[in-house]
Amino acid sequence: MFEVLQNDTLAPNVHRMVIRAPRIAKARQPGQFVIVHPEAGGERVPLTIGDADPVAGTITLFIQAVGATTLKITSTPVGESLRDIAGPLGKATDIEHWGRVVCVGGGLGTAVLYPLAKALAAGGNEVTTIIGGRSEPYIILADELAVFSQVLIATEDGSAGQQGFVTNVLQDLIDDPERRPAAVFAIGPVPMMRAVAELTRPYGIKTIVSLNPIMIDGTGMCGGCRVKVGEETKFACVDGPEFDGHQVDFKLLMDRLTMYREQEAVLLEELPQELRDKIIKVKR
Amino acid sequence: MKKTLSPKERMAIERVRMPEQDPQQRNTNFAEVNLGLTEEQAIREAQRCLLCKNRPCVAGCPVRVRIPEFIAALAEGNLPEAARILLADNTLPAVCGRVCPQETQCEAVCVRGAKGAPVAVGYLERYVADWAMAHPDQLPHEPLPAPTGKKVAIVGSGPAGLTMAGELARMGHAVTVFEALHETGGVLRYGIPEFRLPKRIVDLEVARLTALGVEIECNVVVGKTLTLDELRRDFDAVFIGNGAGLPVMLDIPGENLKGVYSANEYLTRVNLMAAWRSDRPTPIIHGKRVVVIGGGNTAMDAVRTSRRLGAERSIILYRRTEAEMPARIEEIHHAKEEGIEFILLAAPLEILGNEQGWVRGLLCQRMELGEPDASGRRRPVPIPGDTFELEVDVVVNAIGTRANPLLTATAPDLKLNKWGNIETDENGATNLPGVFAGGDIVRGGATVILAMGDGKTAARSIDEYLQKKGDHTAKQ
């Protein structure tokens, strides 16, 4: 059992949870994830490890409640436990000395990006972070990211930072020879990652994305998370989740993410009306 | 009933038939197909055993169960004694009685099989094991030896690891089993379906081990959560039984379409996550027309599962003929009774999709058998130009699995063969002192009972290793 020590709401339906998991905290490296199975008879969902404290024996997860299982996890009160957490899983981020790097986070992707950006900064890189969201309440972790990076914000309605998409901000940086990055890391919704990869492609700027396909075991035994990278089929849980954004078949990834849309809708319908409204509002 | 029968009287008894659920009924549910024998049936079947001196059946069993002895106790109606003998030799008898291919092992060499039907050893093992589970208070209490003070780590809670755990616990060693998934049992949990092996049985077998003092820790992925080096530091010996859970891909166009599953994924969703139950959140695609590619037990499990998930057509596509199928004869027979179609001498060429990225069909190549290959089986050869299309909406790939490199990738000193399997000597010792391995991670995809046999063999060599190590330490 994995005790919940802290559970804060960062944005509508976005939680930061600190959980006791000493072995994972000790072994974990940036870029890795865990599989959480909240209760007997539940389902297994992959979640990125946002942060870890090996001394305190804790990991931090950032979770957006978008369906029955994530809602179950985020509504676990402090002092109660999640039944199963397995990890750390996946490959750690390859932290190279790139020089100037830009990290782009969209929505909850910002939380996934956070440990990566922190590690890149610690690795001696000059980090700029572009974080985007629908509107001001959806911009998370700006202060935390500002500790080690220059933070630029984009919102669709202009309620915070620059109005528009993260790609507009990235384009400005690329156009400025003083600020053009040697590498770009993009994490967020698939259309955003694809847009970033398409933007950097003609400039030949190395672009790393973190993929979020459907997973079950997370240990490479089923291939449910397979993605196409270049000409090869890869299992995101063991070969990734980070890949070269210029090689990823984003259309296939988006397509495979819709595989259980009907069943997910049924599960959502079975939730109490109040919770359902909350989720549907966030999902829009 | 007479207690001792003459050989002639024994020879006159006909082999028992296992009562089964009706095929038309059972292909709509996940309840067990084989219903088990009654006490009367079991005792009568036990009386068929001639208690021959050669006991070839014992040698035919990979864990060397004293078959004539437990059967003789059963024939006398002495179930506590039958259970005592069986449980001493086999850590998982309720599992083995259900899933072992007895027809190629103990029953294949039964003297009675030379003329007529062999003794139904598997059915009797199942009967005694189930009786033992139902009557724990009637089992003789066997005291454990004094603790040796030695600690052994076991990686994987599948058949090899669980057998190893039981053997070592009975020798007085402190055992901790590390399992990557959230439930124990390995392939017994995620692979073999409920209708062949109810998960309640796995729970009970595992509970018997924890009652012996075996510690089991789930959610520990060795290679990630802990490394082999850490285990070697913290334990006196390590056994690796993490299986061969990496699906071999078909490597044909369309493999990533929606509706294409590896058998591992399909069966994990249904067995481990109980996706067949409407009250569970893990989803599965309920195909109307399902094709399963392969001819092994995994293929039979997957295709029979698809039928139970409501498929109108469930098809096995196999590149050789039925005679070459590696699946158990009983499973092939059960599958046919349940309305599974067999398309033989055909191989997949391409999975066809629609505009939304879903499977709509499978393009297949007709084959014929050519010359025998290295395995001695006649090799399937394509018949040029002879192709056909199957209209299907789910494709399950059950062509096999390989060693998962998750652990070995972080243990560079461990010697592997060219397929990524761990190399061991005949006693399960690897090239690293104190590290042993067995089951599918050594053999590649094999059977439950062979993995258990490896666990039993390696347990003896670990015990020897620990004793030597103990002496050595004492001398210093």
pLDDT, one tens digit per residue, over B62-85 is 999 999 999 999 999 999 999 999
pLDDT of residue A112: 87
pLDDT, one tens digit per residue, over B186-223 is 999 999 999 999 999 999 999 999 999 999 999 999 99
pLDDT of residue B471: 60
Q: Which residue did the predictor score with more confidence, B474 or B172?
A: B172
Q: Are A97 and A183 in contact (CB under 8 A)?
A: no
How far away is chain A from the Cα of B358, in angstroms, using its nearest Cα? 9
For residue A238, give Cα distances in angstroms to A58, A223, B192, B208, B232: 23, 10, 24, 34, 24
Q: Tell me the whole-structure pTM to 2 decimals.
A: 0.94
User: Chain B 377-406, CB below 8 Å of chain A: which residues?
Assistant: 404-406
To test the contact with chain A by mutation, choose from B155, B181, B220 the residue with the greatest count of A C-beta atoms within 10 A, namely B181
Chain B positions touching A215 (Cβ under 8 A) are none
The share of chain A scoring above pLDDT 70, in percent, equals 98
| Residue in B182, B273, B405 nearest the CB of A84 | B182
Query: CA–CA separation, B167 vs B159, rounded Å?
Result: 12
pLDDT of residue B14: 92
Band of pLDDT at residue A230, cut at 50, 70 and 90: very high
Query: CA–CA separation, A58 vs A72, rounded Å?
Result: 20
Contact B265 A222 (CB under 8 A): yes
Chain B positions touching A52 (Cβ under 8 A) are none
| Residue in B225, B261, B281 nearest the CB of A87 | B225
DSSP for B367-416, written as a single string: EEEEEE-TTSSEEEEEEEEEEEEEE-SEEEE-S-EE--HHHHTT-TTS-B
Q: Is the pLDDT of residue B1 over 60?
A: no
Q: Is residue A257 less than 8 Å (CB to CB) from chain B?
A: no
Q: Is the pLDDT of residue A281 over 70?
A: no
Q: Is the pLDDT of residue A283 over 90?
A: no
Q: Are B95 and B144 in contact (CB under 8 A)?
A: no
Band of pLDDT at residue B475, cut at 50, 70 and 90: very low
For residue B187, give Cα distances in angstroms to B194, B196, B206, B267, B446: 12, 12, 14, 10, 11
- Which of B178, B281, B264 is closest to A39 using CA atoms? B281
pLDDT of residue A284: 43
A and B: number of Cβ contacts within 8 A: 101
ipTM given for this complex: 0.93
Query: CA–CA separation, B131 vs B135, rounded Å?
Result: 6
The share of chain A scoring above pLDDT 90, in percent, equals 77
Phi–psi pair at B448, nearest 5 degrees:
-55, -50
Exposure letters B304-339 (e unless 16+ CB within 10 A, then b): bbbbbbebebbbbbbbbbeeebbbbebbbebbeebe
Task: Name the one residue in this structure whose structure tokens are 């029979």.
Answer: B304
pLDDT of residue B472: 53
Query: CA–CA separation, B214 vs A154, rounded Å?
Result: 55
Q: Is residue A37 less than 8 Å (CB to CB) from chain B?
A: yes
Contact B221 A219 (CB under 8 A): yes
Give chain B's end-to-end CA distance (angstroms, integer): 63
DSSP state of B225: T
Query: CA–CA separation, B153 vs B457, rounded Å?
Result: 16
Band of pLDDT at residue B29, cut at 50, 70 and 90: very high
Point out which residues pair with A105 in neighbouring strands: A131, A187
pLDDT of residue A244: 97
- Which of B445, B3, B407 is closest to B232 using CA atoms? B407
Chain B positions touching A43 (Cβ under 8 A) are 273, 280-282
pLDDT of residue B374: 81
Q: Is residue A241 less than 8 Å (CB to CB) from chain B?
A: no
**Cα dihedral sign for B413, B417, B422, B426?**
negative
Task: Name the one residue in this structure whose structure tokens are 């989740």.
Answer: A241
Average of pLDDT values for B6-35? 93
Contact A27 B258 (CB under 8 A): no
The share of chain B scoring above pLDDT 70, in percent, equals 98
DSSP run (H or E) holding A261: helix A261-269
Query: CA–CA separation, B262 vs B33, rounded Å?
Result: 24
Mean pLDDT of chain B: 94
Query: CA–CA separation, A167 vs A284, rounded Å?
Result: 21
User: Chain B 303-342, CB below 8 Å of chain A: which residues?
Assistant: none
CB atoms within 10 A of CB B40: 10
Q: Which residue did the predictor score with more confidence, B470 or B393?
A: B393
Exposure letters A190-203 (e unless 16+ CB within 10 A, then b): bebbbbbbebbeee
Contact A256 B283 (CB under 8 A): no
Q: Is residue B269 less than 8 Å (CB to CB) from chain A?
A: yes
Q: Is the pLDDT of residue B476 over 80?
A: no
Task: Name the one residue in this structure whose structure tokens are 């900064």.
Answer: A121
pLDDT of residue A210: 95
Q: Is residue A21 less than 8 Å (CB to CB) from chain B?
A: no
- Which of B156, B226, B232 is closest to B414 using CA atoms? B232
pLDDT of residue B115: 86
Q: Is residue A155 less than 8 Å (CB to CB) from chain B?
A: no
Chain A positions touching B400 (Cβ under 8 A) are none
To test the contact with chain B by mutation, choose from A26, A29, A217 the residue with the greatest count of B C-beta atoms within 10 A, namely A217
3-state secondary structure of A16: strand
User: Chain A 51-70, CB below 8 Å of chain B: which residues?
Assistant: 68-69
Query: CA–CA separation, B375 vs A98, rounded Å?
Result: 52
Chain B positions touching A49 (Cβ under 8 A) are none
Q: Is residue A269 less than 8 Å (CB to CB) from chain B?
A: no
Contact A68 B256 (CB under 8 A): no
Q: Are A279 and A250 in contact (CB under 8 A)?
A: no
Task: Name the one residue in this structure whose structure tokens are 């018997």.
Answer: B208
Q: Is residue A168 less than 8 Å (CB to CB) from chain B?
A: no
Mean pLDDT of chain A: 92
